[in-house]
Amino acid sequence: MRKLLEKLPKAELHLHLRGAIPVEVFASLLNKYDVTAILEGNSYRTSGMFERYGNIRPFLSSRNWSVEEVSRLFQYENFDQFLATYHFTSYFIRDTSDLKKLITGVLEDLRAQNVVYAEITISVIEYIQQGIPLPVILTCLEQATDFPGIRVQWIVDLVRNIGHEAALKLLRQIIALDRRSVVGITLGGSEHLFPPAPFENVYAAARDHGLRLTVHAGEALGPESIWDALRVLKVERIGHGVRAIEDPDLVAYLVEHRIPLEICPTSNLCTGVFSSYEAHPLKALFDAGVPIAISTDDPTFFGTALVDEYMHVRDMGVSDSDILEILKNSFRHAFLPDEEIEKYVHRLLTIHTSLAPTVFGSIPVSQAPLSC
Ligand SMILES: [Zn+2]
């Protein structure tokens, strides 16, 4: 089954650019910079936050690190340690060549996994804070659309922690630059401190400009956050949304209105939303009829990859034919024109039929030529 999943064309709809940084790419950036100099004045550094954690501590002094040594940075025991590590890595993408190296590394990695379509989330503000101007960032994103062998579109995370007024200002700057590779927006960050509803104007402005809408909700907070995302922000998809399971009326709404959840099982365990794969509600949501797409969120930081996630879904008791449905969903709910979605689904089914006609049963496909 793993071999089959590796060969099938797949889509990633919920993947953060820096969360997918290949270890080799981070090792080269770590070796490029003087760590002491770039962390000068950093509040985590001055408060001793980085020194506190054994996985980060060795990397606070510069030397030539091997990839194997750097891989230990991404091993931690608790959520605070993960947050500190995520924050630590943000200081090493400081100019255009770093950003291009990051994007290229992530796309090569996805392509090697047979991910043929990806909507990658980028928090542009963190690169702006390191000194890369917004127009330059967006040009890098635009250039990535020419990368061979994988189709990529970008979702900008406006980062809810900057507040709704700053988020609206940032959105207007992005809209003014009018780059077609940016297909939609989301909000990541602290759902507790910055719930969805105050961002109504931000989402209205994005919708008016033709941008597609998703948001992280129902991860740290419960169903009320998802209801606000649907009724106030009027989103088309929910990032995570797994706590919808706590409200049967919400589950029924998601089913009736065909609102997909972008579910990232390992992420939900790493961030403490659920204690184990057995306790994860994915199967219950799927069995209730909620559209589900599987993604990895921050695969480097969570020690996972897309096929690993599908294997976890299988271990949760989802049948092989239902896994094929979920594979299809990841294309069906992409922010793409219908005709492109149809081509991707057709390509998936054709390759699946040729590789495993007996695994999922016989699935009829037309004989139309493939073109994506
Ligand atoms: Zn996310």
Q: Which of 360, 354, 349, 353 is nearest to 1 (CA)?
A: 360
> Quick check: 327 and 355 in contact, CB under 8 A?
no
Q: What tokens were used for 254?
A: 């998601």
Sign of CA dihedral 302, 305, 307, 310: positive
Q: Which of 287, 362, 348, 284 is nearest to 322 (CA)?
A: 287
353 within a domain of the structure (yes/no): no
For residue 276, report the phi and psi dihedrals to the nearest 5 degrees: -160, 165
Domain count, the chain: 2
In angstroms, the CA 300 to CA 47 distance is 26
Residue 298 CA to ligand 1 center (angstroms) comes to: 7
| Helix/strand/coil percentages in the chain, nearest 5 | 55, 10, 35
For the chain, how far is it from start to end, CA to CA, in angstroms? 25
Write the pLDDT tens digit of every residue in 340-372: 999 999 999 999 999 976 554 444 443 333 333
Tell me, yes or no, whether 42 and 183 share the same domain. no
Contact partners, residue 260, CB within 8 Å, separation at least 6: 237, 238, 290, 291, 292, 293, 329, 332, 333
Angle CA(251)–CA(117)–CA(103) in degrees, nearest 5? Answer: 115
Residue 176 CA to ligand 1 center (angstroms) comes to: 26
Residue 59 CA to ligand 1 center (angstroms) comes to: 26
Residue 325 CA to ligand 1 center (angstroms) comes to: 22
- Provide the b/e sequence for 76-110 (b: ≥16 CB within 10 Å): beeeebbebbbbbbebbbbeeebbebbbbbbbebb
Q: What is the pTM of this model?
A: 0.93
Residue 345 CA to ligand 1 center (angstroms) comes to: 24
Residue 162 CA to ligand 1 center (angstroms) comes to: 17
Residue 262 CA to ligand 1 center (angstroms) comes to: 9
69 within a domain of the structure (yes/no): yes
Residue 57 CA to ligand 1 center (angstroms) comes to: 26
Tell me, yes or no, whether 70 and 111 share the same domain. no
Tell me, yes or no, whether 134 and 271 share the same domain. yes
Residue 234 CA to ligand 1 center (angstroms) comes to: 19
Edge-to-edge, what's the strand order for the sheet holding 182-186? 10-16, 115-122, 151-157, 182-186, 212-217, 237-240, 261-263, 292-294
Domain that holds residue 57: 35-77
Tell me, yes or no, whether 52 and 168 share the same domain. no
Helices (H), 178-245: 200-208, 223-231
Is residue 357 packed enough to be buried (19+ CB in 10 Å), middle (13-18) or exposed (0-12)?
A: exposed
Q: Which of 310, 291, 358, 331 is nearest to 151 (CA)?
A: 331
Write the pLDDT tens digit of every residue in 277-318: 999 999 999 999 999 999 999 999 999 999 999 999 999 999
85 within a domain of the structure (yes/no): no
Residue 187 CA to ligand 1 center (angstroms) comes to: 9
Q: What kind and span of H or E run contains 261? A: strand 261-263
Judged by DSSP in three states, 61 sits in: coil
Residue 146 CA to ligand 1 center (angstroms) comes to: 25
Residue 370 CA to ligand 1 center (angstroms) comes to: 32
Contact partners, residue 139, CB within 8 Å, separation at least 6: 179
Write the pLDDT tens digit of every residue in 15-34: 999 999 999 999 999 999 99
Residue 263 CA to ligand 1 center (angstroms) comes to: 9
Tell me, yes or no, whether 281 and 335 share the same domain. yes
> Quick check: 200 and 228 in contact, CB under 8 A?
no
Tell me, yes or no, whether 100 and 224 share the same domain. yes
Residue 350 CA to ligand 1 center (angstroms) comes to: 31
Tell me, yes or no, whether 66 and 148 share the same domain. no
371 within a domain of the structure (yes/no): no
Note down pLDDT in tens along the chain; length 372 residues: 899 999 999 999 999 999 999 999 999 999 999 999 999 877 777 678 899 999 999 999 999 999 999 999 999 888 788 889 999 999 999 999 999 999 999 999 999 999 999 999 999 999 999 999 999 999 999 999 999 999 999 999 999 999 999 999 999 999 999 889 999 999 998 888 889 999 999 999 999 999 999 999 999 899 999 999 999 999 999 999 999 999 999 999 999 999 999 999 999 999 889 999 999 999 999 999 999 999 999 999 999 999 999 999 999 999 999 999 999 999 999 999 999 999 999 999 999 999 976 554 444 443 333 333
Residue 46 CA to ligand 1 center (angstroms) comes to: 28
In angstroms, the CA 226 to CA 243 distance is 8
Q: What kind and span of H or E run contains 321? A: helix 320-332
63 within a domain of the structure (yes/no): yes
Residue 266 CA to ligand 1 center (angstroms) comes to: 12
